[in-house]
Amino acid sequence: MYFLNQISETISNAVYSLFGDEAIAKPLVIEQTKKVFVGDFTLVVFPLLKFSKKKPEETADLIGDYLVNNSSNFSSFNVVKGFLNIQLSHSYWGELINNWCIDESFGIAKKESGRLYMVEYSSPNTNKPLHLGHLRNIFLGDSVANILKANGHKVVKTQIINDRGIHICKSMVAWLKFANDESPESNQLKGDHLVGKYYVEFDKAYKEEIQVLVNEGLDVEKAKLEAPIFKSAQDMLLKWEKGDVEVRALWSKMNNWVYSGFEKTYNKMGVEFDKLYYESDTYSLGKLVVESGLDSGTFYQKEDKSIWCDLSKDKMDDKLLLRSDGTSVYMTQDIGTAVQRYEDYPGLSGIVYTVGNEQNHHFKVLFKLLSKLDYSWSDECYHLSYGMVELPEGKMKSREGTVVDADDLMDAVINEAKLLTNERGHLEGLSEDEIESLCTKIGLSGLKYYLLKVDPKRKMMFDPKESIDLNGHTGPFIQYGYARIKSLLNKKKSTKDFIVKDVEFKSQELELIKSISIFPEIIRQSSQELSPAILANYLFSLVKAYNSFYQSCPILKEEDENIVEFRLKVSDLTSRIIKKGMFILGIKVPERM
């Protein structure tokens, strides 16, 4: 809590005055009062009984009386068994509001922490376009990076682009076999979509060849390995690793198509990165690290020349690190990337890997391998695991072409926002560019907020139409709350040097002030738990508190100018918090809706 230190100090002084030094030798247990009880803060008095020599209720009464009689910060108290519930005075809330209103960075860390974090997210494969699953990853990673910044940390936003491997070769083989030199320019298709099209084509052809081989008498597993198109992909991967000129040229051409497509998608969603890593660069360092681990005895080699790590003591299966033909696996690349990052940024305080929970075991093994390799920073690596996004129809599969494309989804929510906004008649007087800008903000707000409001650990179902409902638990609902406040402030200007004084707050005013008061704690807690959902849900509750205040506490029709000024001040402060909080989530707020 932003002002908890002051409250804690006052309570601690009271306990010291009543019971002496020993009573405050350990930190007092002070919590925010639960909603079922009356109060703002609760002191747990049980640890103080050995000093008071009294019953819990008597001890609480003694402390409560002292606080109310000796500090203007407290107005009343009540006791529930061994819990002292204390209410802050209206005058103290007024002082706090005055301080918050003049604090332009209210809620955001004012000093740099001296820590540097790297947040990895997106990290796509260059064999397909970004899809709905990527969107949760990207919005989650981007907002976590912003949350860390809001807490005073320096942050490097990064991704590892998985630009090599058998999956990339599958798209390349299919393009050579079926494309007839088709390119993004020849058919006006985004490059990532074009390459993704041939990844799907590979899978179709692969399944057909497997079936032919099965019909000829091979079992399914053997047929998967013997299918000609799959062998072509394997052969292409070997040629790539040996630096074959033609294979590398095709790989470079198709990857550049994809990069161009990705860039357009990132620009539309308002996301950018500080540093890019490519698997084609880091896998070779990973191979060197693995070979060094073999030399040191950390890893072992089988008769077929493949290199492994014995993880039996860690109660995990042994991990393959280099295949018998010398080609690397995902783990090899991840080892090399981690090492490269700490070489690039020696002062790193940690790396946050934003990757779905399907890879929980992978990261458990990765961090264990880095530890076995004696990298002291291995315990600073953290896997931000999140649940998958599903549709009512079920799970998406890239190779079968059943994914929801990120570009299509963004276009859909923006178009839906246009329809709904037009139905409400809120587009009158706006130019085409203004309409496009407004509806893009509304549509992307719905999409981002919907994917961020759920605890990252939970899997979720996505409903595009529900995401932009102005009356639901949505981003547009919060945007509309902001726009309403800005409309009010445009009609009635506040006096900048007004000071809240001697105001008796109505219950709705007090609830709004209390909601405002926890914003700094929300920012801190969101960082501690790496959870944008905490901030997202707070902003929703803040707007609801403001709506209740707005309906019960008139501003434009209020005759008492002191009350009007206070309500304008608290309205302006609320709008600043909304704008700041939504910015941290990567969401823009329009001035009108």
* Residue 4 pLDDT: 80
Mean pLDDT to the nearest integer, 137-155: 98
Q: Can you name the CATH fold of 4-88?
A: Gyrase A; domain 2 (3.30.1360)
pLDDT at 498 > cutoff 80: no
What is the band of 217 on the pLDDT scale with cuts at 50, 70, 90? very high
- State how far the alpha carbon of 38 is from the alpha carbons of 46, 84, 572, in Å: 20, 10, 28
Nearest to 90 by CA among 541, 496, 566: 566
CATH 1.10.510.10 fits 408-584, yes or no: no
CA angle, 343 then 349 then 355, to 5°? 85
In the structure encoding, which two tokens stand for residue 302, read together? 């089988």
How far apart (Å, rounded) are the C-alpha atoms in residues 497 and 440? 37
* Residue 422 pLDDT: 82
Going by their DSSP bridges, the two strands 381-386 and 74-80 should be labelled as unpaired
How far apart (Å, rounded) are the C-alpha atoms in residues 155 and 348? 9
How far apart (Å, rounded) are the C-alpha atoms in residues 463 and 493? 40
Half-sphere exposure of 403 (CA within 13 A, CB side): 23
* Residue 128 pLDDT: 92
Half-sphere exposure of 490 (CA within 13 A, CB side): 8
Kindly report, residue by residue over 347-389, the tens digit of the pLDDT: 999 999 999 999 999 999 999 999 999 999 999 999 999 998 8
* Residue 402 pLDDT: 52
Do residues 393 and 441 make contact, with C-beta atoms less than 8 angstroms apart?
no
Mean pLDDT to the nearest integer, 37-45: 96
What is the band of 496 on the pLDDT scale with cuts at 50, 70, 90? low
* Residue 403 pLDDT: 67
* Residue 133 pLDDT: 86
Q: Determine what percent of the chain is predicted with pLDDT higher than 70.
A: 97
- State how far the alpha carbon of 228 is from the alpha carbons of 95, 204, 206, 241, 275, in Å: 77, 13, 8, 20, 39
Q: Which of 12-16, 31-35, 341-345 has the lowest mean pLDDT?
A: 31-35
Mean pLDDT to the nearest integer, 55-73: 96
* Residue 401 pLDDT: 45
Comparing 24 with 390, which gets the higher pLDDT?
A: 24
* Residue 424 pLDDT: 78
* Residue 396 pLDDT: 41
CB contact set of 244 (below 8 Å; sequence gap of 6+): none
Do residues 325 and 287 make contact, with C-beta atoms less than 8 angstroms apart?
no
Question: Quick one: CA dihedral 339, 343, 349, 352, positive or negative?
Answer: negative
Indicate the SS3 state at residue 553.
coil
Domain definitions of the chain by residue range:
4-88, 165-258, 408-584
Do residues 321 and 499 make contact, with C-beta atoms less than 8 angstroms apart?
no
Mean pLDDT to the nearest integer, 161-190: 95
Kindly report, residue by residue over 502-543, the tens digit of the pLDDT: 778 999 999 999 999 999 999 999 999 999 999 999 999 999
What is the band of 463 on the pLDDT scale with cuts at 50, 70, 90? confident
Kindly report, residue by residue over 263-289, the tens digit of the pLDDT: 999 999 999 999 999 999 998 999 999
Mean pLDDT to the nearest integer, 156-172: 95
How far apart (Å, rounded) are the C-alpha atoms in residues 69 and 325? 81
The whole-model pTM stands at 0.91
* Residue 393 pLDDT: 61
* Residue 494 pLDDT: 73
Mean pLDDT of the chain: 93
Kindly report, residue by residue over 289-313, the tens digit of the pLDDT: 999 999 999 999 999 999 999 999 9
What is the band of 471 on the pLDDT scale with cuts at 50, 70, 90? confident
* Residue 398 pLDDT: 43
Count of beta carbons in the 10 Å neighbourhood of residue 105: 10
